[in-house]
Amino acid sequence: MTEKEFIKAAAKAISNAKTCEAAALNTYEVCRRAAEAWGMKPDIEVAIKKPGEPRHFPDQSCWMVCFEAGPYEWAVSASLSTDTKGKVLAEPYYSFDLCFSEV
C-alpha cells in the first residue's frame, strides 16, 4: 500500500460512514491494514478511543483514531479529502490523529 493509496482509503472510510463511531472504526481498520503492510505492529502503532476514554489531549468528547507512525500529516490529508455530506466531522488534533464528531 502506498501513502497515496492509504490516504485515499482513509478518506473513503470516513466518507462512507454515517456515524462518528462508524467513521472511527472504518479509519482504524484502514490504519491497521497500512501498518501491517508497512511491516509495523498494528496493536502498538494504531489506537482507537471512544468518547470518555483518556487520551493524549484534553478533549474526550469525540471518537479518536491515532496512527503516530503513519505518513507525515496523514490525518490532515485524509480529513481534507472527505465528503461526509454533513454527517460526520473528521478533524485532526495533531497531524497523526483524527477526531470524529457529529455535525
- For residue 41, the 8-state DSSP code is -
Identity of the residue numbered 82: T
Per-residue pLDDT tens, the chain, 103 aa: give them: 899 999 999 999 998 888 989 999 999 999 999 999 999 999 999 999 999 887 776 667 789 999 999 999 999 998 888 876 777 888 888 888 898 888 7
In the chain, the number of structural domains is 1
Contact 46, 65 (CB under 8 A): yes
pLDDT (0 to 100) of residue 1: 87
Containing domain of residue 88, as a range?
Answer: 3-102
Q: Which residues, at least 6 apart from 60, have a Cβ–Cβ distance to it below 8 Å?
A: 49, 51, 52, 53, 54
Q: Residue 40: which region, alpha, beta or left (left: phi > 0; alpha: psi -120 to 50)?
A: beta
pTM over 0.85: yes
pLDDT (0 to 100) of residue 32: 98
Contact 23, 41 (CB under 8 A): no
pLDDT (0 to 100) of residue 28: 97
Nearest Cα residue to 42 out of 30, 54, 57, 52:
30
